[in-house]
Structure 1
Amino acid sequence: MTRADSRLVQTAVIESKTSHRAILLPKDADELALWRRRHPHYSYWCGLALGGCGNELSDRLYRNKVCHFAHHPNTSCHRTETGVNSADHLFVKSDLSAWAGRHRWGARVSLDGRGAGPGDAVDFRTREDRRHVRFQFRILNHPEWVAARERLKREAAGVDWVFGPGAVHPETMEELYDERGHLLRFRCETEGAARRVRLRAEEPGRSTDWVPLDACAMTPEGLWVPGLGPRRRTGSAEPARRMPGQGSDRPRRSRQQQVEAVREALVKAAGLRTRPTWEVLARTAGEELSELSDAERTRLLTDLDRKVGKSGRPFLPALLRTDGGGTPSYVGPVVEAVGCGFPATAEVLRHWCRREIDRAFAVYGTPPRIPLPRFGINKDGHLVAGDVRSPQPRVILHRESGAFGRDDPQEGRLRKAKEVRGELARARKDKAVRRLAAFLKEAEEVLPHLSRAQSGSLRAEMIEARTWLRSHLTDEVKRAGGPRRRRKVVTSTRQSGKARKAGGAKGGKKRETPAPGTRPRRGTGGG
């Protein structure tokens, strides 16, 4: 840079450019002044571990804006991350080192920079039991994560992944839910001039509280977080089949109870935007479901909703997937059985189910959204060109007992808002005061029935209309010669728009003009 650094650099390292001692500069002037008195000999650097240039920084104290670091003049730096969280990987590394030291573990903490920079991940390795915990900062696509996991497994007895904000891919999340039943996450919270790591475990439908590292523990099975349930066993072994009447004290449920349990599990999966395998579904909806054959699974899924083909409800069995992420073969016959058509090929089934997955995520997600129309399947088993749309706008609503379709009055309000917005713009362009006032009144009636997102453009047009109307009235007053001679501008469609002429008689009565040759009546002021 050939001029003063104008960036808001909020983090640096202390002592040298190769240091890993990070600092978050206090933003308040009084706090920074106190920090300077406590640490008068500190020097600050745009550290290499921050992706910086390695040059020295100066701390800038301001009373009228946020305090921050700045480069010296005539220095060149291409550091991309300078915000509050730009040194979180160093703070996490520091916290892990201190945590291991307090427990006297023989552990090694290091930064991993195989990706875009030095802050991609922090690795925590214990020497005695060869456990490995990776704190992942940068999101990896699923194949990248699988490759990294296999590589780390070869180097350690066990690997735990802890993901930072926005650092986990949806497919990776699904696989960890299937494999372990939970997902570990971390975040950093500001404490003075540092950031402290907090952890929690997330399971489908619930999460534990955020806790500091000292509340967690390293066990032979891996990293443990308070509130975390027992870890699921991993492996591909098939569940052992029970002989009738053996191995279970629980009575076998009826078909209707199984159907309700499967529906509830699939609705919950859609709310979490996940796709379970049949084995994961069985762990949630009932272990006896794992014993069902493909034909029995088809019959059970058909009983979920036999009228889904004629309704607007999403096809929940589309959420099921194989271990490879594909659509199970037993789902195809269900599509035909519920009246949605028979997919001719696996590719048609995959595309059709992909749309139903999106529809389920929209209906049961938080917040719910109006789903896209369902794809149609013709008699030849191929997707119909374009979407199959209902003759009237429909919206899918979710209740505890399921989903149902109904005519959507909100669509009418949205159309009305669009029409009123257009009329306001045209009236303003035509300088039609009365018409503008009338449509402003209509807009005010429609506005309370719209959400903030839906009403944004209408609100903007109303502001423009009112601004123009005020400007127009001001011009009218000026042309009339001031407020005392202000002409009355009619703003209602019920009024005629013509100003009445004031009469000259007392009491506000109109003055009568006598006909020629007649004598004025008494009291009219005619003579």
Structure 2
Amino acid sequence: MLDHRLVQTAVIGHKNSDHPVILPMDAWELDRWRKAHPGYSYWCGLQLGGCGGELSDRRYTTKVCHFAHHSTAPVCHRKNNGESSADHLFIKRGVQRLLGKRQVKGRVETRDLGTGPGDVVDVYLPDSRRRLRFQLGAVDYRAWRRADDELAADADGMDWIFSSEGPITQQFVGRHGYCLRVRCETVGGERRVHIGAEARDRTVSWTPLEECAVTSSGIATPETEKIRLIRPRPTVLPLQGGLVFALDPEADVPAGSPFTAEDRHLLVADVKPVDSPIVRALVSLPGDTKVPPAEHVYRVADGARLLIAEGTAGWAVEANRYVRLNAHEAQRTGLWVPPSIPESPFVPEPVRRAAQAAPPPTTQAVTATRTAVTEPPPVSGTPVASAPMTRAELVTALRDALSHHARLHTTTTWETLARTVNPELARYSHTDRRYLLVELDSPLRDHAPVLSALIREGDAPLPYLSNILSQLGVAYAGTPSRIKRWAVVETERAFAAYGTPPRTMPPRFSLRPEQPLVRQFVRKSGGAGLTPEVKVRRPADRQVNVARPMGRTVADTSMVKRLRSLLQELTGLLSLVDKPTRKRAREVISETQTWLAHHDGALLSAAQRAKVADRSSGYHVRLVEDELKAVNGVLKAANRRTDKEAKRLARMEAAQSKARLARSGEPSRSSTPAEDPVDRLRSQLIGVAAQGGNVALGDLNTSESGLGPRHWLVTLDRRAGADSFPLLSALVVDAHGGPVVFFRDVLGAAGLAVPRTEEALLAIWRREQERAHAAHARPPRPLPPRLVPRASVPKDETGR
């Protein structure tokens, strides 16, 4: 039942009460409520932002029950009347009960921060000097920072609990590994309070408030106790220009440093950035190599990152690759000087003949020094420790480098990125680069620029940028004539987003192709006949000079979107059918395109307008759907004929092979089972998924089977829907890097619902790719949920 009441909440007893209530909506529930609480009086409470007048409970059988002001009550200007308008009072009462249950002293109060009395609920625990704030209203980062500093001034700890997800909650998740959330659910005449723990994957585990604990570290749920054991990750910033460092083995690393990690060495070193003085700092080095000797100086040419912890924990330098400097270069840094040799009557040989002379009997220090001098110094630039970067680290480093270029308002090239991020990038093929950049910019978001647009090849964007955009789900990414303009606009969006200070990003450039040329018939100056005049329709024509022949309503807009999607699907099937079917389909496409041009306000001839004026969008949707059914019927018939012919040829080949073996006298090998093409294809796709990649349709191992790839992919994933396995067919891409044209058939054969729109199909396709990569990763990762439900009716093998 929908709740349309004007006043949904009230307080009990008097106008200053903080005892909230929600009136039951059904008449029978209200009768039970009245019998259970005969002495209750209801008020439009001041702590609800109300007028303070008394309310009555109205019982109805034909509509929902609700509160109502008395006829003599003054005009009420209460802003919030919904069921959530009393959540601050329900939270206050729930926290008070929890403190009493846990026998913890505390003060609970609500505060009005300018938008209403239900903005926040503040809790102070004097024994542990800790504060809790339930943030129920919207807040930006600066307002949150001011409030956090104010509340933490007289407390030893602070917990924030937010009612809704937003940028601030993501800041908490990124900084602490979790974020506390609060929500209320209506149960009878109350709102039950639940506390949630939001993790890094944005999943929230909810726990009823009465089951939570109040400790010296704040409010705790079973999930927060698990997450708090994970050390928060520091903020990471790229360092440009490189640095040199020398370790100090006698200095101790501060206990409990936030930069300590199990798989890395945290050491104290003297660090000298380029063109900067020497500073004492912590250095984080890869843990899979030995700690480098402290007697040498090392250079980090690129890839260094600055780790910053919140508060007064300081900062550290993270380096994954470094090289040892020779004696001459080390001495120039000021971090090392050659050790002095004690006076001795022995006159040493020249260094170039040291290998031929035996070392003199002298002290151990002199011997060690002479050995260090006579050894050939290492070549500058030779890596001493080179920890291989994981795929995730490589994507992060590449994203950081591109963000830095955007901050400097500069573009870059792939060769420059290979020098600054990882030399291995220089050996990547175009396909490997495309997969890496798709992972870098996924998922596509309107409020985040596509950083791949910053990479140039010469003066033009990457030649495979359209393939990247297709895999990201950018509409009309296969339009090469507009890719260059798209890259220019997206570059400006990146400059605006990462600039100092950031600016509002311009809207993303649309790759939708320009409308075709249309003919406008004008009369000759002599007055005889009509002359066709070609005009290009521009947006200004549609807004100013052209009177729109058709209005666009909400229902019409949704129907037109569906029509465009069906038309695109029909166009993609033209290359798969025979010539007569293709001719009929093109007639339907031409007629539909003419109607769409008329709908969009294009200038048409009188004959064209007369042809489409009395047609509706629903008519063309049915027309295109019927043609799609006919085309799919032709394709199914062709597939059946192909399957039948393939089986006939297989039987013929088997008979001929058997006859040849009989004539040659060799024993028959028919008992030896042949390799199943489905198993061979599954093994290939599992290997592709384990590498986190995709495979082109033409590279599948199905050429020797006699049947097309569509047959084997449909057969492969027929049981995936019922068993919740990922669809391995999602790893197969077409020539443009998108899903294959028969991916809808795969969904149907798997017993899953087939989406109508291309947007939904792309989202499902990308999610099944993620599921396949997660299922077959080494080690496997948790599978994200499937976006497509089971079909309501059983499907045949083609999914129709």
TM-score, length-scaled by structure 1: 0.57
| Aligned residue in 2 for 1:442 | 624
Offset at residue 257 of structure 1 (A):
5.9
Equivalence map 1:27-46=2 (5 Å): 27-46=25-44
- Confirm or deny that 1:412 pairs with 2:568: yes
Aligned to 1:54: 52
Structure 1 305/95 Cα, relative in aligned 2: closer, same or farther at 3 Å? farther
The 1:201–1:432 alpha-carbon spacing in structure 2 relative to 1, beyond 3 Å, is closer
Contact preservation (8 Å) 1:376, 1:387: no
Query: Helix, strand or coil: the match of 2:100?
Result: helix
**Correspondence list, 1:27-426, <5 A:** 27-74=25-72, 75-165=74-164, 168-170=165-167, 172-205=168-201, 207-228=203-224, 229=227, 230=229, 232=231, 239=259, 241-242=265-266, 248=287, 258-262=389-393, 298-299=421-422, 307=430, 338-339=455-456, 370=475, 374-376=486-488, 412-413=568-569, 419=593, 422=596
8 Å contact kept, 1:58–1:72? yes
**Structure 1's 21 and 335: CA in aligned 2 closer, same or farther, altered over 3 A?**
same
| Equivalent pair of 1:423/1:439 in contact (CA under 8 Å) | no
Amino acid at match of 1:151: E
How far is 1:84 from its partner?
1.5
Q: CA deviation at 1:34?
A: 1.4
Within 2, Cα distance between the matches of 1:107 and 1:246?
46
Which moves more between the two structures, 303-312 or 84-93? 303-312
Compute the displacement of 1:259 (Å).
3.8
Moved more, 252-261 or 72-81: 252-261
Question: Conserved in 2, the CA contact under 8 Å of 1:123 and 1:135?
Answer: yes
Identical residues among aligned pairs (%): 30
Shift in CA distance, 215/428, structure 1 to aligned 2, threshold 3 Å: farther
Alpha carbons of 1:341 and 1:66: their partners in 2 closer, same or farther (altered >3 Å)? farther
Structure 2 unmatched ranges of 5 or more = 236-256, 268-282, 291-319, 322-384, 405-416, 443-447, 478-482, 496-505, 515-563, 572-588, 600-608, 630-753, 761-800
How has the CA–CA distance of structure 1 residues 79 and 276 changed in structure 2, closer, same or farther, with 3 Å as cutoff?
Answer: farther
DSSP-derived class of the 1:57 partner = strand
How far has the Cα of 1:17 moved from its partner? 0.8
| CA distance, structure 2, for counterparts of residue 295 and residue 437 of structure 1 | 55
Q: Partner amino acid for 1:132?
A: R
Aligned 8 A contact 1:363 1:370 in 2: no
Distance 1:93 1:35 in 2: 23
Decide whether the 8 Å contact of 2:99 with 2:106 is kept in 1: yes
In structure 1, what residue type is equivalent to 2:39? H
CA contact (8 A) 2:161 2:180 kept: yes
TM superposition shift of 1:177: 2.1
Q: What amino acid is aligned across from residue 13 of structure 1 in structure 2?
A: V
Higher RCO (CA 8 Å, separation ≥ 6 residues): 1
Describe the SS at the equivalent of 1:82.
Answer: coil
Rounded to whole Å, the distance in 2 between the matches of 1:376 and 1:276 is 16
Which residue type is aligned with residue 154 of structure 2?
E
Secondary structure of 1:227's aligned partner: helix
Q: Is the contact made by 2:172 and 2:179 (CA closer than 8 Å) also made in structure 1?
A: yes
What is the CA distance between 1:248 and its match in structure 2?
A: 4.3
**Alpha-carbon distance in structure 2 between the residues aligned to 1:123 and 1:43:** 28
Q: Residues 128 and 9 from structure 1, CA distance in 2 versus in 1: closer, same or farther, beyond 3 angstroms? A: same
CA distance in 1, matches of 2:566, 2:386: 39
**TM-score after normalising by structure 2:** 0.39
Instruction: Report how many aligned residue pairs link the two structures.
Output: 379
C-alpha distance in 2 between matches for 1:100 and 1:134: 15
Q: Sort the Cα spacing of 1:303 and 1:423 in 2 relative to 1 into closer, same or farther, 3 A.
A: closer
User: How far off is 1:431 after superposition?
Assistant: 5.2
Q: Supply the AA of the counterpart residue of 2:50.
A: G
Query: 2: distance between equivalents of 1:386 and 1:91?
Result: 42
Q: Structure 1 residue 335: deviation in Å?
A: 8.1
Do the aligned partners of 2:129 and 2:156 also contact (CA within 8 Å) in 1?
yes
For the residues of structure 2 that align with 1:245 and 1:80, how far apart are their CA atoms? 54
Residues 312-364 of structure 1 show CA distances to partners (whole Å, capped at 9, x for unaligned) of: 98576689xxxxxx99xxxx9x987x536799xxxxxxxx9xxx9xx99x977
Q: Does 1:451 align with 2:757?
A: yes
Cα gap change, 1:88 to 1:304, in 2 (>3 Å): farther
CA deviations over 1:357-387 (Å, ceiling 9, x no partner): xx99x977xxx765997533999xx98x998
Q: What is the CA–CA distance in structure 2 between the aligned matches of 1:187 and 1:108, rounded to whole Å?
A: 21
Kept in 1, the 8 Å contact 2:592–2:620? The answer is no
CA contact (8 A) 2:198 2:204 kept: yes
Q: 1:258 to 1:64 in 2, by over 3 A?
A: same
> CA–CA distance in 1 between the matches of 2:286 and 2:195?
38
CA contact (8 A) 1:16 1:44 kept: yes
Aligned counterpart, 2:347: none
Q: Which whole-Å CA distance do the structure 2 matches of 1:121 and 1:386 have between them?
A: 35
**SS of match in other structure, 2:174:** helix
Cα 1:437–1:38 shift into 2, 3 Å: closer
- Mapped to 1, the partners of 2:16 and 2:182 lie a distance apart of 26
Over 3 Å counting, the alpha-carbon distance change for 1:410 and 1:176 in structure 2 is: farther
1:102 Cα deviation from its structure 2 partner:
0.8
Change (3 A) 1:444 1:214: same
Shift of 1:142: 1.4
Q: What does the per-residue CA deviation read over 1:137-181, in whole Å, with 9 as the maximum and x for residues that have no partner?
A: 11101111111111111131111111113xx431x2332123211
Counterparts of 1:266 and 1:183 in 2: how far apart (Å)?
26
Go from structure 1 to structure 2 and tell me whether the alpha carbon gap of 1:154 and 1:311 turns closer, same or farther (over 3 Å shift): same
- Alpha carbons 2:111, 2:121 under 8 Å: kept: yes
Counterparts of 2:130 and 2:596, CA distance in 1? 65
Partners of 1:312 and 1:191 lie apart in 2 by 49
| Letter paired with 1:131 | R
Q: Supply the distance in 2 between the matched residues of 1:431 and 1:176 (Cα, whole angstroms).
A: 58
Displacement of 1:432 in angstroms is 8.0
Secondary structure at the aligned position of 2:180 is classed as strand
The 1:141–1:299 alpha-carbon spacing in structure 2 relative to 1, beyond 3 Å, is same
CA distance in 2, matches of 1:411, 1:204: 40
